[in-house]
Structure 1
Amino acid sequence: MKPAHTSTQLMTNTEQQKTKDDMVLTDLYIYPVKSLGGIRVTEAVVEPRGLRHDRRWLIVDAQNRFMTQRQTTAMANLKVTPAYNGFLLSHQQRPELLPLYVPFEATPEKTLFVTVWDDMVFAWRARPECDEWLTEALGQPCKLVYMSDMVRRDTEPALNPEGQLVSFADAYPFLLIGQASLADLNGRLAEPVGMERFRPNLVFSGGEAFAEDNWDRFQIGELAFRAVRGCGRCVLTTINPATARKSPLGEPLRTLAAYRTEDGSAMFGQNVTSGSRGRLRVGELVAVASHKTPVA
């Protein structure tokens, strides 16, 4: 699928070289299981639903409804580490619970319908031992399911007429945050927080704080992206991933809300789509091709 074109054309590689001191992709993250920890990678493949292996697995409850740290804080205790052609799940507070290996992809032996927000899609079941491990780790009945390439789940149609797909992520295939934006926030906090609190896929250096708020079309290396809208943050950002405990002061959400509120939500980062297919690598140049039109 080709990205929509605007009157402002995307920059060529030659033009990018002229801005090599400005902005650079510094970090790439995939989150194999929705609402669990991420894996930092040096390169990743961009596919129709986002980065390859990003949020293709989902934990659901007994009613087949998606689970996140918003309601189940104990999920923050589950750590994700890379393994051959997959990843390991472990419990940071229960070393007696042996790590569980999960492949990046599942097989269609058993299927069921699951609910993610207002969407109902079919999913493939993981091995029974995965359900057993998660039920023991989280102390409630739950199942692990996988989204196959046959599933169609669209991003917001009103803002994405080109019909972009999304995995089990909340709404968009990519989340972009600038390091300068985090530095600005940390300068206002009594205790600084790490970028992992905000679960981005794409992190860049250079530029001013929150410069990404005004981006429309941009490139990373050879691939084209579109910043659709800001990301409203939730209580998940107040959970310390190292301890699985919520901030008693509601930070950093409280501080964000004090100076970054829009339509009742604390905003941090940009929801992004892409019509491109290819490989991203840390160190590639980020070049803005056009900016959002200011609302009159």
Structure 2
Amino acid sequence: MHHLASLHVYPIKSARGIDLSEAVVEPWGLAGDRRWMLVDEAGRFLSQRKQPQLATVTVRQEAGGRLAVSTPSMDDLRIEPTAEVRLVPVTVWNDEFEAALGPDDAHTWFAKLLGFDVRLVHLDDPTRRTPDQRYADASDRVSFADGFPLLLTTTGSLESLNAVMDSALPMNRFRPNVVIDEPEGWAEDRWRRVRIGDVIFRVVKPCSRCVITTTDQRTGERGPEPLRALGKHRRFGKKLIFGQNLIPELPPTGSGILRVGDPFEVLETA
């Protein structure tokens, strides 16, 4: 039997991730995952695609929903949801919805880091956004993640990819939520429904990879891999694939718990 090898959340979209030993699964993803996001003056999301220096931003979760944020070049920042909720329109890809404006000092801090005016927003109500309805149900929800509540990768697929590159890359290049210790490379391509611990997930769509995977998640520096290797070995049409998107099968108000070491089971394949 295979197991859950690691768990990860990214409290601020495109900032550095946090490794966890256990996490609550909510209908829209792991608790605390991608509930904060940076947007430009038009309300459009910002990410490492164009701002790779966000990889140097370390985030620590504190009590009461507060975040402690740091980067080597600046003083630390502490963030908490504001008492007065000020909703503003935001856009993630083609999704337009509302989010709560963060505190003013956070806007100033990130603007100094990135060199242009930005705002930090908080998804105070995670029921506002639905995943792509070509792959999801009308009742499904998602946070500020690119498209779906969770991303799954496997150790075997990383080993298979590293085997065709000159230098091995760590799993954090792919920014997963759950990593399974499946030894067979690309086995997840066949999975359609899985159980991790007591929580069942639908495997709804392969994850198409972008330039973020070429970004060192410690320094923000970039290189050609793994996109060059994915282009040779994992190209499906115009998409370069690594990992699978998941939607939890939970009631709208339900939740579950995942713990590193939980048993993993494939319930349905294609």
Which of the five TM-score ranges fits, normalised by the shorter chain? Answer: over 0.9
What are the equivalent positions in structure 2 for 1:200-219 lying under 5 Å apart? 200-219=176-195
Q: How many residues align?
A: 265
Give the alignment's Cα RMSD to 1 decimal.
1.4
Counterpart in the other structure of 1:229 = 205
Indicate yes or no: 2:96 matched with 1:127: no
Deviation of 1:151 after TM superposition, in Å, equals 4.3
Letter matched to residue 79 of structure 2 = V
Which secondary structure state, in structure 2, belongs to the residue aligned with residue 289 of structure 1? Answer: strand
Counterpart in the other structure of 2:165 = 189
Deviation of 1:108 after TM superposition, in Å, equals 4.3
Counterpart in the other structure of 1:18 = none
What are the equivalent positions in structure 2 for 1:26-105 lying under 5 Å apart? 26-85=5-64, 86-92=66-72, 94=73, 97-103=74-80, 105=81
How far does the alpha carbon of each residue in 1:243-271 deviate from its partner, in whole angstroms, 9 at most, with x for none?
Answer: 21110xx1111101101011211100001
Query: Residues 150 and 44 from structure 1, CA distance in 2 versus in 1: closer, same or farther, beyond 3 angstroms?
Result: closer
Counterpart in the other structure of 1:255 = 229
5+ residue gaps, structure 2, are none
Counterpart in the other structure of 1:163 = 139
Q: Greater shift after overlay, 109-118 or 145-154?
A: 145-154
Counterpart in the other structure of 1:291 = 269
| Fraction of identical pairs, as percent | 37
How far does the alpha carbon of each residue in 1:30-68 deviate from its partner, in whole angstroms, 9 at most, with x for none?
Answer: 100111111111111111111011001010112211101
How far does the alpha carbon of each residue in 1:72-101 deviate from its partner, in whole angstroms, 9 at most, with x for none?
Answer: 222222222343443321123x1xx21111
Q: Distance in 2 between matches of 1:107 and 1:147?
A: 14
Query: Residues 290 and 166 from structure 1, CA distance in 2 versus in 1: closer, same or farther, beyond 3 angstroms?
Result: same
Under a length normalisation based on structure 1, what TM-score does the superposition of the two structures give? Answer: 0.86
Q: Greater shift after overlay, 78-87 or 233-242?
A: 78-87
Query: Residues 62 and 68 from structure 1, CA distance in 2 versus in 1: closer, same or farther, beyond 3 angstroms?
Result: same
Q: Greater shift after overlay, 65-74 or 281-290?
A: 65-74
Structure 1 outlier segments of 4+, above 4 Å: 105-108
239, 244, 267: which one aligns with 1:270? 244
Counterpart in the other structure of 1:9 = none
Is this contact kept in 2: 1:34–1:55, CA < 8 A?
Answer: yes
